[in-house]
Amino acid sequence: MTTTSTAYTAARTTARLDALVASVREAVGQGLPPDLTAYLVGERLAPHLGAADLLTEEQQEPDPATYRQHLLHAEHDGSFSVVALVWLPGQRTSVHDHVSWCTTGVHTGEERERRYRLVPATREVAAHLVATDDVVNPRGAVCGFAPPGDIHRVWNACADLAISLHVYGADISRIGSSVRRVYDLPADR
Ligand SMILES: [Fe+2]
């Protein structure tokens, strides 16, 4: 699947999500460089992963057609957003990169990630992707990164539902998605 559906469920929340948002707000407000902000946000996100009272039932609803994005919070000044991505077995993203720093944490299940390097076109070869890393992210795993060099694909390879929390340094309520570019290029795997 190359697209996702978005459900705007920001009006319904939990006390734990409110606490997470307050803690992320404090981290983002420190004004650190993007990669350090992503790291610090990961420290704030980790203690909440797997907690039964983090998300409402609606915020954990999948979509049979594609992985589903629930917008959980968009900060009023546009400085960050929090979303939950809900994946049925086999659902996957396109190969893409991001408009901003991003911190991810696996809340339920297990996610797989393949990272790529873009090889630009030359006179001899067309532009293509080379896989650089295959990562398994189990429940509780946290990952923070900042562009450039953040091309990847993510999918749910386990037999059950997977849910991950993503914090982006962008206003997802306005732009809809954190994806900067989808890479429809040949890849070695
Ligand atoms: Fe991504």
The enclosing domain of 74 has a CATH number of 2.60.120.10
CA distance linking residue 32 with residue 10, whole number of Å: 27
Q: How many folded domains does the chain comprise?
A: 1
- Distance from Cα 98 to the centre of ligand 1, integer Å: 6
- Distance from Cα 141 to the centre of ligand 1, integer Å: 15
The tens digit of pLDDT for each residue in 68-111 reads 999 999 999 999 999 999 999 999 999 999 999 999 999 999 99
Q: What is the CA radius of gyration of the chain?
A: 16
What is residue 45's predicted lDDT score, i.e. its pLDDT? Answer: 98
CA 50, 136, 148, 7 torsion-angle sign: negative
Q: Is the pLDDT of residue 36 over 90?
A: yes
Dig out the tokens for 155 from the structure: 């999918």
Domain containing 133 equals 5-188
Query: Once rounded to an integer, what is the mean pLDDT over residues 132-155?
Result: 94
CA 134, 107, 17, 23 torsion-angle sign: negative
- Distance from Cα 152 to the centre of ligand 1, integer Å: 6
